[in-house]
Amino acid sequence: MSETNPMQADTSFELLIDGAGVAGERHFDVINPATEEVVGRAPDCTRSQLDAAVAAARKAFSDWKATPIGERQAKVAAIGDMIAAHIDDLSRLLTSEQGKPVARAVEDVGAAPYFCGLSSKLTPPVDIHEDSAERLSATYRVPIGVVCAISPWNFPIADSFWKVAPALVAGNTVLLKPSPFTPLTTLRIGALIRDILPPGVLNILSGGDDLGPWMTSHPGIDKVAFTGSTATGRRVMQSAAQTLKRLTLELGGNDAAIVLPGIDVKATAEKLFGAAFGNTGQVCFAAKRVYVHDDVYEPFANALVELGKQAKVGDGSKQGTDFGPVQNRQQFERLKGLIADSHANGHNFLLGGDIKTGNKGYFIPITILDNPPEDSRIVQEEQFGPILPLLRFDDVDVAIDKANAVEVGLGGSVWGPPEQAEAIAHRLDTGMVWVNEYGSVAPSQPFGGRKQSGFGVANGMSGLLEFTQPHTIVTSRQAAGA
Ligand code: NAD
């Protein structure tokens, strides 16, 4: 984040604490990744502002958890309706801070009403273990307390509201912290919805690098729902251990796609191109390594390259842009480093790999690599950007072993004759696998990773239950003392 003339930037963004907009005591710049200009200045939440938000959330908790679930559901649905009513303005603001094309920003913002609508129809079940003349034994799902939701910069709104909506419906109060790279749309949403909920039920705090650790170690917070990188996830877990906070960790991935003979080359290439390069490759479950069988390697690689040549990378606010810039300078430099590493090691580029210097914006061209070594950085590291290694195989068992031989296990995909492909899907050590399609996240599907991709799940009823704890009550039906 750079320094700028504060007179030129929009400083109207406020924190949401205890139901009121609260001005920042200090601010930081938010940069448009397509132009490198300042979009706005976000409040940099201080320690005492965080304490005030935690105190407000704690105070609001007892009334909110006692509010009938139907009322909580209605208020969460109303939040969704309010966001939907402002989707155009919010999406344009999101494009300016995140970089994605406006049509994609509409999807990201639109996910908030979607998740609010979904959660507002869910009621946690009661498990009856015994209902007899002797006793009633039942487990109820009750809220945990004050939840802190921490989001990344790739899907700032979708990732926030698939935590916030179920957390609120379940009866928790919430502190939402967007990424410092993309806080503005979330803060704007805070201003729009602040009167829907009782004060303190939802607080929105933007801040710099200190704010996340302050939250994850704060004794007044009971649960952390975190989405971000595996490295940060480890720090969150360590910090949360001090007070034994409940955790849901949605972390990084290095998803493998396995492409078998017998595919429709053109149709599969189109789907996999979207799987790898959608959101400029900045998707946790993007296809990040593609293992392609020898028999189809060349036609498949050619088809992907053709799609890459047609794709337009540019400013997301301009008509006709398919893929925006990489979201921030740090990630841009990381990706340039990966490309430089591939050049230095003599990897064969089928497309891209050249970064224009001297221009504004964090633009990386669609880049496709031809069979780099398995131990190269571009295969072993999560790139989180528009650089894709294609890896040739002739023995599917070896390809499966390689797909599984990483520390992370978020998602994966298999492409080929359905029965054979599905059998392979069962052997992938990941939370989710798609067969001949990619990325569907139906409400009934639990979404979550294995290994160092985190633990806990999001989505639908499974996601709602993550924001509850069991409360088992056994009542004797014999008269007391009898
Ligand atoms: P990040 O880990 O750098 O930051 C995520 C959030 O954590 C931000 O809000 C950041 O301010 C905050 N944070 C940073 N340090 C913290 C700390 N010590 N304590 C508490 N909070 C802290 O991740 P990012 O770069 O914003 O996002 C990209 C990563 O997120 C990728 O690895 C991607 O795969 C992953 N991701 C995972 C999922 C999933 O569902 N599994 C979804 C989206 C993104």
| Domain ranges within the chain, ordered by starting residue | 6-251+453-471, 256-435
Tokens of 412: 């994966």
- Residue 211 near residue 205 (C-beta atoms within 8 A): yes
Residue 418 C-alpha to ligand 1 middle, in angstroms?
Answer: 35
The verdict on the CB of residue 148 being under 6 Å from ligand 1 is no
| CA 406 from centroid of its chain's CA atoms | 21
Grouping H, G, I as helix, E, B as strand and the rest as coil, residue 230 is helix
Those residues of the chain that have pLDDT short of 70 are: 1-8, 481-482
- The residue written with tokens 């209902």 in the block is 131
- Looking at residue 3, what is its pLDDT? 42
| CA 383 from centroid of its chain's CA atoms | 16
What number of CA atoms fall less than 13 Å from residue 110's CA on the CB side?
A: 7
Residue 263 C-alpha to ligand 1 middle, in angstroms?
Answer: 35
The verdict on the CB of residue 382 being under 6 Å from ligand 1 is yes
**Residues 6 or more apart from 474 whose CB is under 8 A from it?**
135, 136, 137
The verdict on the CB of residue 183 being under 6 Å from ligand 1 is no
Tokens of 165: 């909506």
Comparing CA positions, the residue from 328, 326, 323, 308 lying closest to residue 388 is 308
Whole-number Å distance between alpha carbons of 472 and 401: 43
- Residue 262 near residue 414 (C-beta atoms within 8 A): no
Task: Encode pLDDT of 344-397 as tens digits.
Answer: 999 999 999 999 888 999 999 999 999 999 999 999 999 999 999 999 999 999
| One-letter identity of residue 400 | I
- Residue 96 near residue 181 (C-beta atoms within 8 A): no
- Looking at residue 232, what is its pLDDT? 98
The verdict on the CB of residue 332 being under 6 Å from ligand 1 is no
Tokens of 345: 């090691």
Specify the CATH number for 6-251+453-471; select among 3.20.20.70, 3.40.605.10, 3.30.420.10, 3.30.70.20: 3.40.605.10
The verdict on the CB of residue 228 being under 6 Å from ligand 1 is yes
18-22 contact pairs (CB < 8 A, 24+) = 18/52, 18/53, 18/56, 18/60, 18/199, 18/200, 18/203, 19/56, 19/194, 19/195, 19/197, 19/198, 19/199, 19/200, 19/201, 20/194, 20/199, 21/190, 21/191, 21/194, 22/49
Top-tier CATH class for 256-435:
alpha beta
- Looking at residue 397, what is its pLDDT? 98
Q: Which of 179, 234, 331, 383 to mutate to test the pocket of ligand 1 (most atoms within 8 A of CB)?
A: 179
- Residue 184 near residue 13 (C-beta atoms within 8 A): yes
Task: Encode pLDDT of 183-212 as tens digits.
Answer: 999 999 999 999 999 999 999 999 999 999
Q: Residue 151's CB: how many other CB atoms inside 10 A?
A: 27
- Looking at residue 2, what is its pLDDT? 42
End-to-end CA distance of the chain: 71
| One-letter identity of residue 328 | N
- Looking at residue 357, what is its pLDDT? 86
Residue 75 C-alpha to ligand 1 middle, in angstroms?
Answer: 28
Atom of ligand 1 nearest to the CA of 458: 40
Going by alpha carbons, the residue nearest to atom 40 of ligand 1 is: 250
Residue 165 C-alpha to ligand 1 middle, in angstroms?
Answer: 19
Going by alpha carbons, the residue nearest to atom 18 of ligand 1 is: 213
Tokens of 268: 């599969």
Evaluate whether 6-251+453-471 and 256-435 have a shared fold.
no
Whole-number Å distance between alpha carbons of 154 and 98: 7
As annotated, the active-site residues are 250, 284
Going by alpha carbons, the residue nearest to atom 16 of ligand 1 is: 212
The verdict on the CB of residue 384 being under 6 Å from ligand 1 is yes
The answer to whether the pTM exceeds 0.75 is: yes
The verdict on the CB of residue 227 being under 6 Å from ligand 1 is yes
**Residues 6 or more apart from 412 whose CB is under 8 A from it?**
255, 256, 257, 258, 403, 425, 428, 430, 432, 433, 434
Residue 152 C-alpha to ligand 1 middle, in angstroms?
Answer: 5
The verdict on the CB of residue 463 being under 6 Å from ligand 1 is no
Residue 7 C-alpha to ligand 1 middle, in angstroms?
Answer: 31
The verdict on the CB of residue 216 being under 6 Å from ligand 1 is yes
